[in-house]
Each structure stands twice: as structure tokens, then as C-alpha cells.
Amino acid sequence: MTSTAGAEGASDIGERRNVSDAAGVVVLGACAAWSLVTATVQDGRPEGVLLAILAVAAGYAAGRIGGALLPVAAPGAAALAGLALTVTLPHIGPDPEIVPPLGQAGATAALLTLSAGAACCAAWATTAPALRLALRLLAAGIAVTAAALGSTTGFVVCSAVLLGSLAAGRMHHRGVGVAGLAVATAVVTGLTWAVAGRAVPDGFAASVEGQLTGHRLELWHDALDLARQDAALGVGPGRFGELSTTATSTLLSNGKPHSAPLQQAAEQGVVGVALLAAAFCWVLFALWRAPRPTPDVLTAGAALTGLAAIAAVGNALSFTTVSVGSGLLAGLATARPLPEAPAEALPDARPRHSA
């Protein structure tokens, strides 16, 4: 009876993994195909989009393998690697220096957020109390590092990930938590869109401008204006910098609107925005159906939601290291540790006596 139940459970887990994996292949494939379509029609440059998709896929595959083989060591090593990369390489991408909070600050906050999430995931994966405490202290140290580097956003989001991870230990139904993460992402994206469309009160708009600078808001306005010009296809991947009046009027520009959803809307139209949302929903779906314990899954979801919030108001997803890190964390949280060999399958080591 026990073996039958175990076989049914393993079959159910395998079926769930197949469904989520197939959904991921379809979504990422559609994102790549649509970028090529819009680039062909609008004479765009899809290389950046394709590189980001490849980076996410590679990170996800590496995370699945590492999480299966080393469920504690792999996320712990990923957390340390992300922290070391941020500290030792102040400029983690090719973008030019731009007055804060533009430029590298978003990538720094995003990378530290993913590192804190990986450390918390490793803490939930271990059963040793001392190691669990050490990994949570590592996550707290990552938040302190963000503050020391001057990344207020990184400090706030890393702290939220750590607190959310602790709260996840008391949640028994992951569906509620995953739904909450989806709602939080939708709210941040909606506010960003409302600010870009000048659909918020003047007082709130002034507060946002004080935090994000007027230059960034002008980029958002340009992105939404370009999206309205061709809502179906957008202006083409990589063409925002050529057509934005704000981007072309300053030397300190990397040709990006510094908002992932607004960039998708401007360059790839409504379908591009829908595909970006579908990619994030696929990640949440994969976490919901993952065989990992609920605290581990919700911790990774909290970190990826923090990344989505940073990307909604910044340029984080333009950095390959961030794309790889997001895929890596998602892969670690959805990996299934290799099953231990059953006792009856082990060779009989007892000495045999001749008759």
C-alpha cells in the first residue's frame, strides 16, 4: 500500500513538473518569436531581448540542476556569489554613469534582492538549526550591504524578502501567498502606468518625481506616447532611444525608458506587455506547482516579486547578470531533490555463508 501511494505521489509530481515546464517553453518561445516579428516589421534590433531570454533559460536550467543535486549548498553559493559580484564589481553592466537613481542602482538592488532570496531559500532547505541561523544572518547582512552601498531600494526590498521568508513559515496554503504576490506586482505595475499616463494626483506625482527624478518620468511619458502610436506592434525592439525626445536630448542616456513594462509597450506593443506578464505568471505557476516546501517556494516568490517591482520602475532587466540570477533562483525553488535509493534496492552487504 505504501509503495503504491508513493508511486502515485511521484507520478503526480512528475505530471505537475511536465505541465509547468511545457508552459515555460511555450511562453519563452513566444517572447522570442514576437521580438523577431516586431523587429522584422519595424526594423528593430531584437538581440537584447533574445539575450535576456537566453540568460533566463540558462539560469533556470542551472538552478534546476543545482537545486536537485545540492538543495542547500547551491542556493547558499548563489547568494554568496551575488553578494561578491555586487561588492567587487561596482559597475555590473555596460550602461554609462547616470545620475542616481538611474543607471546601475537598479541592477545593484535587484542582484542583492535575488541574493537575499537565495540565502533565505537555503535556510529553509536545511534542517540544521545553526546553519539555518547562519544563512538568515547572511540574508540580513546582504540587506545591510545594500544600505552601505547607498541602495535604499535594495535595503528595503531585501528586508522585505527576509521578513516575508520568516512569515512564510507560518503559511500552509501556498496558493494564497502566490496570489498575494501576483496582486502586489499588478499594483506596482499599475501605479507605474498611471504615473506615466499622468493619471495620478499632482501631490503623488510630485512625490514620485522627488524619488525617481523628473528625467525618468519624462522617459516614461515618452514610452507611453510611443506605445500609443502603434499599440499593436510597438516601434520595434531597441528603437526607444532613437525615437524618444528625452533620450536623444541628453548624453547621459542608454536608450531605455527605465521601466520593463513601459519598454515592452513602447517597443513591442500590447502583445509584448502581455507576454511579459505571461512570463511572470509562468514563474508563479511553476512555484505554485513545485514539489518544494511552501516556505521555500514563497520565499523565492517574494524575491522575484521584489525584482519585478524594481524592474517596473528601473532598468534592472537590461543587465544580463540580473536575468541569469532571476532564472537561477526560480530554478532552485522549483527543483526536486534527487530521491534517495530505497533500502530494499540496496545490494545485500551481509556476508554469505556457504552451505
Q: What is the pLDDT of residues 329-352, one digit of tens each?
A: 999 999 987 765 454 444 444 444
Rounded CA gap, 315 and 293, in Å?
32
The predicted pLDDT at position 251 comes to 59
Q: Transcribe 271-309 into DSSP letters.
A: HHHHHHHHHHHHHHHHHHT-SS-HHHHHHHHHHHHHHHH
The predicted pLDDT at position 58 comes to 96
User: Cis peptide before 71, with omega less than 30 degrees from 0?
Assistant: no
Q: pLDDT per residue over 203-218, tens digit each? A: 888 888 888 888 889 9
The predicted pLDDT at position 255 comes to 77
Q: What is the pTM of this model?
A: 0.88
Q: Any idea which residue has 507611453 for its cell?
A: 224
Ramachandran sector of residue 198 (left: φ over 0; alpha: ψ -120 to 50; beta: rest)? left
The predicted pLDDT at position 166 comes to 95
Locate 87 and state its grid cell.
561588492
pLDDT below 50 — which residues of the chain?
A: 1-10, 93-103, 341, 343-355
- Positive or negative torsion for Cα 290, 292, 294, 300: negative
The predicted pLDDT at position 340 comes to 57
The predicted pLDDT at position 17 comes to 61
The predicted pLDDT at position 354 comes to 45
Name the DSSP letter for residue 344. G
Rounded CA gap, 261 and 278, in Å?
12
Q: Are 79 and 119 in contact (CB under 8 A)?
A: yes
Q: Are 247 and 240 in contact (CB under 8 A)?
A: yes
